[in-house]
Amino acid sequence: MNPDHISLHDKQFEPYLPAQQLAASIQQLATQLNHDYAGKTPLLVAVLNGSFMFASDLMKALAVPCEISFIRVASYQGTSSTGTVQEVLGLTEDIRGRHVIIVEDIVDTGHTMRRLLDTLGAREPASLEVATLFLKPECLQHELPIRYVGLSIPNDFIVGYGLDFDGLGRNYPDVYKAVGS
């Protein structure tokens, strides 16, 4: 049973997107990726920590042979982006000539994704695409070539399904939004 509200630190959160809706969006993304990457072996680069659930479920839904690696970047403090991206744990694989898909939980300002696209693009992959579960179009501060979007959402602060509020809330299978956001 899923709670009808959750409390994390000093904030209250209410149900927003059920696990079934997330699963349907992930399946749609996988169908698109299976079509677009037929005959290829893409490397999924999952952005930690938030994308771990999404990356796992997306990879399980893919029918094309693929690999996964992880990169950790940080740009959030509390409920808002700091605007500064720090690469915490880098990608060790050689991606030259590879088909790379950055797997991200949420793209809002686009600062993190812009930095990742620039950094990974400089390593000469055969192709470089982004698959994000959530996109906040009204928050974008960069033009980004995001080809694979699970759900476009308003500028609500959300937790659950890997997304957190200062470390808490990642464990919920559903997504919750801050009350009053």
Beta strands in the chain (DSSP E): 6-8, 11-17, 43-48, 67-77, 80-89, 99-107, 127-135, 148-152, 158-159, 175-178
pLDDT value at residue 119? 87
d(CA 38, CA 52): 24
Query: Do 9 and 178 meet the contact criterion of CB atoms below 8 Å apart?
Result: no
Which pTM was predicted?
0.91
Query: What are the pLDDT digits (tens) for 71-117?
Result: 988 655 554 555 555 554 678 889 999 999 999 999 999 988 998 99
Structural domains of the chain in order of their starting residue, each with its CATH number: 14-76+92-178 (3.40.50.2020)
Distance CA 117, CA 146 (A): 10
Examine the residue annotation and report whether 108 is marked as an active-site residue of this protein.
yes
Catalytic residue among 57, 105, 108, 164: 108
